Amino acid sequence: MLVTCLDLEGVLVPEIWIAFAEKTGIEKLRLTTRDIPDYNELMQGRLKILNDNNLKLSDIKEVIGGIEPLPGAKEFLSWLESEFQVIILSDTFNQFAGPLMAQLDYPTLFCHDLVVDDAGKIV
């Protein structure tokens, strides 16, 4: 059995944090692991920005609702799945990926989970 592993953001769909930065006008949310390779440092910075600006998971999900797969991504993924086992390995979050996975016909995804408080803040 052959397995193909892909990233999600920037490969099959646009970068979620960049789309969110464009919506909010907060330039520092455009930073990705290409800019800050230490994932923990990157996420701590994002969480601080979200907290400082009273932004919640629902605000991010609103932006994600308008994101579509990159041109040709669904067809490419369909072809890959006809030839290989496909696993998407991503530093995204299940809470972000749901609507995007639906548009891609629910490929196998391994990613993170967010911890969200009762007020909808990511903690």
Catalytic (active-site) positions: 7, 9
Continuous segment of H or E residues that includes residue 46: helix 39-52
- For 40, the 3-state DSSP assignment is helix
- Tell me, rounded to whole angstroms, the distance of Cα 89 from its chain centroid: 11
How far is Cα 118 from Cα 101, in angstroms, rounded to an integer? 25
